[in-house]
């Protein structure tokens, strides 16, 4: 293994992009992929013959340190949005939490880039994308306020697909196309 170099990724050199917005105050991102399986059993055998996949799901959460636009005379945070704040509406997620706008909400993507990478040019800047969670929807939101800490907002989400720099996830082949489906008429 001599001569092999590694390039570790940590929270210090990762850039999280949610809904095409750099999350300069992102605290963490957690995600998991689950493949549901069903055991195949046969008569005369106590052990399972095989496990067949029947479902695929991606879920996770991310936390953001909340900040607001600085009023005149207040100290502001330098960031890509010019200290406009990072409320759910500023990052395009308010429709996911507003009951009157849920049906108008759209999916969003989450990308994680390795900052300062020269091995590949990706968006934004010269960072290299190494994780993507596509077609996400917010499923929960919570906030934490205490006297000795910053306001932390936590979002829970589900995603359609997860992929990273090693493989590209693809949708199920030969799935049923429901776009052309017509319901039978209820009138005779």
Of residues 151 and 118, more confidence is placed in 151
Residue 63 has pLDDT above 80, yes or no: yes
Predicted local distance difference test score (pLDDT) of residue 165:
75
SS (H, E, C) the chain: CCCCCCCCCCHHHEEEEECCEECCCEEEEEEEEEEEEEEECCCCCCCCCEEEEEEEEEEEEEEEECCECCCCCCCCCCCCCCCCECCCCCCCCHHHCCCCCHHHCCCEEEEEEECCCCCCCCCCCCCEEEEEEEEEEEEEEEEECCCCCCCEEEEEEEECEEEECCECCCCCCCCCCCCCCCCCCCCC
In this predicted structure, the answer to whether residue 80 has a pLDDT above a threshold of 50 is: no
Q: Residue 183 pLDDT > 70, yes or no?
A: no
Kindly tell me if the per-residue pLDDT of 186 is higher than 70: no
How much is the pLDDT for 123?
47
Q: For the domain 11-71+78-164, what is the CATH code?
A: 2.40.30
pLDDT of residue 74: 53
Q: Is the pLDDT of residue 86 over 60?
A: yes
* Domain locations in the chain as residue ranges: 11-71+78-164
Categorize the per-residue pLDDT at 11 as very low, low, confident or very high, splitting at 50, 70 and 90: low
Q: What percent of the chain has pLDDT over 90?
A: 23
């Amino acid at each position: 293994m001599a001569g092999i170099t590694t390039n570790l990724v940590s929270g210090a050199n990762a850039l999280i992009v949610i809904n095409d917005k750099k999350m300069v105050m992102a605290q963490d991102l957690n995600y998991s992929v689950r493949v549901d399986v069903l055991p195949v059993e046969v008569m005369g055998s106590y052990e399972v013959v095989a496990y067949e996949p029947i479902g695929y799901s991606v879920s996770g959460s991310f936390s953001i340190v909340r900040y607001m636009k600085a009023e005149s005379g207040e100290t502001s945070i330098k960031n890509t949005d010019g200290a406009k704040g990072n409320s759910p509406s500023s990052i395009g997620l308010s429709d996911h939490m507003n009951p009157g706008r849920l049906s108008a909400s759209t999916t969003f993507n989450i990308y994680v880039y390795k900052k300062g990478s020269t091995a590949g040019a990706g968006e934004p800047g010269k960072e290299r994308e190494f994780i993507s969670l596509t077609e996400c929807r917010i499923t929960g939101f919570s906030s934490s306020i205490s006297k000795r800490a910053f306001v932390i907002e936590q979002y829970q989400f589900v995603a359609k697909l997860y992929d990273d720099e090693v493989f590209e996830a693809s949708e199920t082949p030969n799935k049923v196309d429901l776009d052309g489906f017509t319901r039978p008429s209820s009138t005779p």
